Amino acid sequence: MKLAVQMLIFGLLFTIIFFTIRYFDIIPMHVLLVETNGIGLLYSTIGLIFGVISGFVIQTQWDNWSKLSISVHGEIKSLRQLLLFGTYISPEFDKTIKEHAETYVQKIIVNWHNNDKEKSSAEVIAAIQKLQETIYLLWDEKPVITESANQILFRIIEYHDDVTHYSSRRLPVIVKILIIFCMILVIVIPLFIGMRTLWLDYIITLSISLLAFLIYAVINDLDNPLKQGNWHITNNDYKILLEELRNNKTQSYMESD
């Protein structure tokens, strides 16, 4: 929905600019028609460059997006395994694990859109250290079980490191500037290419401009995978897990009463 609104606004602005140039004869039509061949050749070259760069960038970003999504689901899955593991040890251990897991998930949710990655990582690491300490306390009594729990915990830490890594990867500034520059050229140059039929001129130039804008919107969204946009990875899975932990805690309190 957000993308549709953005494209509608862009289309309206482009329409205003297009008809302003054509109706007020800002660029004389006879000049546009004479220069069509030369500008058309230049335009096709720029369009080719824009297409190649955009295709490469989108493929690279989509690969990063997929790895981030896999890491998020892997972390959630490993957390559930650890919580399930705790139910087979003792009620005290199960309760402590759930409390620390709740804190851990809560910190992830709170810091999901935090641009200060160092602060975010520090808070999450502090929460996961509590899980480690709880598991280490089992070593003297149940070393084999502790080893299994540690393996699950190591996977959680590994997945979380991947989430932090892939969510913080950004396009180099020079590449983003190049894409924006090429997009502007692809949008602006058709205004200097005239056609004898006005409505056909308008449809073609608007279609090309909307396509260029859509490509940039995709690249911009993929470059900010956690930022709310047209496509982004949400923390909904973490919120669902947090709600389950809180419900389990409430049920445990009711049972103890």
For the chain, what are the domain ranges?
2-256
Prediction pTM value? 0.78
Phi, psi of 196 (to 5 degrees): -70, -30
**pLDDT value for 7:** 85
Whether the predicted pLDDT of 4 surpasses 90: no
Largest distance between two CA atoms of the chain: 91
More confident call, 238 vs 28: 238
Structure tokens at 180: 């924006």
- How far apart, in whole angstroms, are the C-alpha atoms of residue 188 and residue 208? 10
- How far apart, in whole angstroms, are the C-alpha atoms of residue 206 and residue 14? 7
Lowest mean pLDDT among 8-17, 97-106, 116-125, 209-218: 116-125
**pLDDT value for 201:** 80
Compute the average pLDDT of residues 113-132. 72
Cβ density class 8-22: b for 16+ within 10 Å, e for less: eebeeebeeebeeeb
Compute the average pLDDT of residues 65-81. 92
- How far apart, in whole angstroms, are the C-alpha atoms of residue 203 and residue 215? 18
Q: What does R_g of the chain's alpha carbons equal in angstroms?
A: 27
Compute the average pLDDT of residues 62-87. 90
Lowest mean pLDDT among 128-132, 179-183, 241-245: 128-132
- Over the chain, what is the mean pLDDT? 81
